[in-house]
Each structure stands twice: as C-alpha cells, then as structure tokens.
A and B are shown apart, each in its own frame.
Chain A
Amino acid sequence: MTDKFDVAIIGGGVVGCAIARALSRFQLDVVVLERDVDVARGTSGKNSGVAHTGINVPTGSLKAKLNVHGAAMFESLCRELDVPYKQVGKLIVALDESQVPDLESMQARGLANGVPVLDIIDADEIKRLEPNITGYAAVHAPTAAITCPYSLTIALAESAAENGVEVMLESPVTAISGEPGDFTLTTPKGAINAALIINSAGLASGEVARMAGVERWRIFPCRGEYVILDKSVGDMITRMVYPVPPKGGAGLGIHITPTVDGNILLGPSTDYIEDPEDVDTTVDVRKQLLKEASEFLPTINPRDVITAYSGVRPKLTSASEGGFGDFVIEEVPERPGIMHLVGIESPGLTAAPAIAEMVAGWVTDKLSPAVRPDFKEGAHTAKRFREQSREVQTSLVDNDPDYGRVICRCELVTRREILSAIENRLGARSINSIKYRSRSMMGRCQGGFCGPRIVDLLIEEGVPFDELNLKGDGSWMFFDTSKGLREGHDSRTGEAVIER
C-alpha cells in the first residue's frame, strides 16, 4: 500500500464512492477515507432510495442540472453494477382542489427542468393506477425510479476497489495541511499524502472544509425518521406516493415509497437536531408518520411495521431560514486543490453519477491521467438468489451447493450470498456490513433466526467471536463464552477475555 496518492476522497457515501469509481477508470492512485466501519453508513444508507425525476428543484439550479443528468445515467449504472433499479413511477397527490395549482406549477417546473414525461391525472385515474390511494388529482411521473441506496454505494466502492482504489475504513480525517500537489491528511491509521483532495464528507463537510482553512459553510443536520412495513402488505401500492410538498418545509413531505425488496417505507420526518450522529427514532414521529401516510393510504395498519430507522440530511439552510439551498460543488480560489461538496442532500443520490462525472472532470483536467486499460466494469458478488427465476436458481444450486443452503429465510438469502458478503473487497466484517450486503437480518424476524447462523459463518471465516461487532469497535456482539462468564476466560482457549 502506498501512502502517497493522487487523490484523497474524504467520505464513503454515495457521492464519494461514485467519484472513486469514476476515477478508477484512469491510471490514478486514489484513496477513499471513511470514518465509519463501512461505506454508506451515513445519509447515503438511510434515505428513501429514490431516483428522482427533477420535479422538485428550482429551474436553473445546480441541483436541477445534476438531478436530471444523474437520473438519465442512473439505470445503466445500476445495470452495470447489478444493483436493483425499478422504474415504478411516482404520484404527487393533491388531497383536494385547493392543491391543484401546486400540481400545475410542479408539472411546469419539471418539464422546464427537462423531465421527459409528466401528466396531471384525476381521481379516477389515481384509483385505476393505485386502487388503495385516495386523492383528488395527481402529478404522474412515470420515469421516477427506486433503487437500493446502500447497495449502490457499496457496489460503487467495491467496483472502485476492484479497479485499484484504496478504501480505508475507520479512518476519520482529523487534520489537513500542505498545498496542492502535497497535502497531508491526518488519520488514526497514519498520515496520507495526496495531490488533490475531494471533500465529500456529507454531514461533516463543513467541518472538513474548516480543517482545510475554509470557514464558509455551516451544516444544519435535519433528521428524517422512517418506518418500514412488512412485505406481506407490500402490494398496497406499486408506485411512489408523495403529498404536495409543505410550503417552506425542509423536505418533500411524508411519502409512501415501495422498496426494491417489496417493503413499503413511510417517511421521512423533518426535525432539525444538534448532533449529526443522533439517529434515534421516537414514539411521536412514528405515530405522526403512520397518521400522515394514512391520509393517502387508509389501509395502513400499525401492526405491519417491522422496524424504524433515521437518516440525517446535511442541510445548508437552518430551520428558521427554511426554503431551498443549492448544492455547493466548488474549489475555493484562495485554497486551491480541494474540491468541496457541501449540502449534498436530496436529490444527492440521483445526482451522484452526474456529480461524479463533474468532479472526475476537475481531477482529469488537473492531472491529465491515462485511461486504465484493464478497467473491470461489472459486479463480482454472488447473485441475489431471491430475485432469480426458478430455472436460474436451479442452475445456480446445481453448480454451487452453497446456493442450496438458506441462511435467512425471511429474505431468502443463501449461504453463498453470506459468504460473498463476508469476503467483500473492502474488508468490512461487521454484522451490519453483512446485513447491508446480503439483506439477511432485514426481514420479519430481524435476525432472530439467521443471526446465530451468520455468526457461525463469520467465526468459520476466521473472525474471533470476541471481535464480532454490530457496527465497529465497541459495538461488541458477545462479551464472553457462556461458560466463560463465570470463569472469566474463554473456555475454548483458556485465554483471558477482554475486559468490557
């Protein structure tokens, strides 16, 4: 491993990983510095998973340009990386006549932004498309799509790693010094030298800019809570269903989103918070989400909630300012050599491929690298067994018995897929890393049954039981062996167990 790189990317979110993969097409030494135990652990992993068309962003903004361009690139990127992508379409539903002008202005803005198709439909047509949805009229955006945001981020990072990018996990940057061509980034894993820096640190992007001497941006963390409904009711809707966005609000309103795996998401709420890492879920918001979503979808039953989660938006506008803040993607003239990406919130996921293309262009302009001749485009992970036809499943197991052993039955995940997740290119070994790569432990039982089997496989693959963790150092799964609790040492090896 070299500690001298052409480009250091700070932040392993979808944008940082998309940039890393875009740069891996060139003969460059690139490092991604991620502070968490895996990529996609921040905002990129916890959102609605929507490839937006570009209806909701002001015409002429950077957001509009990158959203529409990113949306056009999205499907082929997902296909390349074998990431789920479904063009299910979206309805923005007016509950009564008073909201119809809002629909009309959204339609006009969307068309001006370059969205290919947008229709306004009446109540009958809503019922025809979505029999369970109640509404007066709606904007219908047939090209809106859903993806799996953490799968995409992970696939981008693993493809980049496959093509030579160094992805350093648990490596927060604590200081930046030097100048273009010779920056030094301080991390707990040692100093990193890089010619150029890309600050795609999301919630921490303002802080990273300050480390580099740019006192310009303040990030206002804005939490969004979601609840997830069970697959058994996943057929209540086939399209995304959004309300007319609240005036001056911080988000798009509580929406109902089908996931690529057949669940339904309700959310997100919008709560400005102090601590960007505060991803608590709350009783009040859970009730609010169920109540607001029920206005459009009266058949929602609280009993069908399988779990809840929160993500945090890195907003550039405070609660009191409200309104719109455009993406900031700029190199500050008095502190050159660092590209800052700040305030990349919704539609950041959709825009990520376009942002990556733009930022990669900035790098190639500066460094004029040669193209990597042996760039490997596709994915190299196990097939998602549950998504295959019976014929394909049969041939998979005929050729590889590990596809014949179901480990997670709620989500139908086989031993081969778990092993593939454990052996990932990034070296991520936390339980959550296996979960987000394989979908195991995400179903009805939330890991009650498959958890112990996955623990077995991790131990078989060489992870000591007392190093097994949920999401990095400190989040230990086990404190001891059962028999060792009383004895104070590991009953298998006789060695003293770590004090916790």
Chain B
Amino acid sequence: MSETTTIVCVVCPVSCAVQVEFEGNGIIRTDHNQCKLALEYVNDELFDPRRTLTTSLAVDGGAKPLVSVKTDHGIPKHRVMEAMQSLSGLHVQAPVHIGDVIVPNLIGTGADLVATRNVAAA
C-alpha cells in the first residue's frame, strides 16, 4: 500500500514542493521537483532525516558564561529534543578549545558533541 506526501527541498533556493509516492523504504515516484538533486534529499528526509544539533553549554570558571557546541554529524531528527534533554544541567570546566569533544557518542547516535569556540579560563 503506497503513501503520498509533500517535502520541500532545501538544496537550492528554488525550494521545490516535491510530491513523493513511497512504499516501505522505497520511493515509487516523485513529482514537482525541477531537478535530480531533490531525489537524494527527499529520500533522506523521508527515511532517515538528520540534523546537526547546535547549542551551548554552561562553562564553569571561564572568561565567558557559555561555550557553543555542535554534533560532528547529523543525528536523527526525532532525537534532537532528547539530545537537548540529555545535556540539561551539564557544565563544562574552562578552558575549552575549539574542536574539544565534550560528549562522545551523544545519546548513542554515534555523533560526538564538540566545542565550536574557545573559552579561556577566567
């Protein structure tokens, strides 16, 4: 039994509203996409949507109160809020360096949470 949905492709500014017919883990057909680049995007969005999570963490003993962080790969979209919840209350000790791994394998996604800026000790 196939299903149909619409996904806006964000690969380029054209922003095609792609109509997708799919069944199980496979796309049967797409419509309203102006180019082929949409296919890979739509496939990912449909079956394994991922997002890079960017946020900040409280710093103890730092020249700044916060350090910005990101996941080094996309994590499943539906686990983003769960990842945020897991970081609740987490404090990082200064100094922090850009690229430092703060949380390895964040909630088992395989992605590491890394610092995206330097924060010197106060």
Which A residues form the contact surface with B (CB < 8 A)?
481-483, 486-487, 491-492
Contacts and interface: CB of A to CB of B under 8 A. Distances in A.
B58 A486 contact: no
B88 interface: yes
B80 to A, nearest CB: 13
Interface in B67-122: 84-85, 88-89, 91
Most buried by B among A481, A483, A487, A492: A483
A486 B84 CA distance: 9
Nearest to A483: B58
A487 B66 contact: no
Contacts, number: 18
B57 interface: yes
Residue of B66, B84, B85, B88 with highest tally of chain A CB at under 10 A? B88
B56 interface: yes
A482 B84 CA distance: 13
A481 B88 CA distance: 12
Contacts of A487: 88-89
Contacts of B84: 486
A486 B85 contact: yes
B66 A486 contact: no
Interface of B: 56-58, 65-66, 84-85, 88-89, 91
A483 B85 contact: no
A452 to B, nearest CB: 12
A491 B91 CA distance: 9
B66 A482 contact: yes
Contacts of B56: 482-483
Contacts of B91: 491
A467 to B, nearest CB: 18
Contacts of A483: 56-58, 66, 88
A74 B88 CA distance: 59
A338 B87 CA distance: 63
A22 B13 CA distance: 68
B102 to A, nearest CB: 14
Interface of A is mostly: loop
Contacts of A486: 84-85, 88
Contacts of B58: 481, 483, 491-492
Nearest to B57: A483
Given A482-B66, A492-B58, 16 more contacts: A481-B58, A482-B56, A483-B56, A483-B57, A483-B58, A483-B66, A483-B88, A486-B84, A486-B85, A486-B88, A487-B88, A487-B89, A491-B58, A491-B89, A491-B91, A492-B65
A492 B65 CA distance: 9
18 contacts: A481-B58, A482-B56, A482-B66, A483-B56, A483-B57, A483-B58, A483-B66, A483-B88, A486-B84, A486-B85, A486-B88, A487-B88, A487-B89, A491-B58, A491-B89, A491-B91, A492-B58, A492-B65
A495 to B, nearest CB: 14
Contacts of B85: 486
A487 B90 CA distance: 10
A487 to B, nearest CB: 5
Nearest to A486: B88
Contacts of A482: 56, 66
Nearest to A488: B88
A491 B89 CA distance: 7
Nearest to B90: A483
B64 to A, nearest CB: 12
Contacts of B66: 482-483
A297 B91 CA distance: 59
Q: Which of B57, B66, B85, B89 has the most CB of A within 10 A?
A: B89
A486 B85 CA distance: 8
Nearest to A484: B58
B66 to A, nearest CB: 7
A487 B89 CA distance: 7
A442 B11 CA distance: 42
Nearest to A489: B89
A387 B58 CA distance: 41
Contacts of A492: 58, 65
B60 to A, nearest CB: 9
Nearest to A491: B58
Nearest to B56: A482
A486 B56 CA distance: 13
Contacts of B65: 492
Contacts of A481: 58
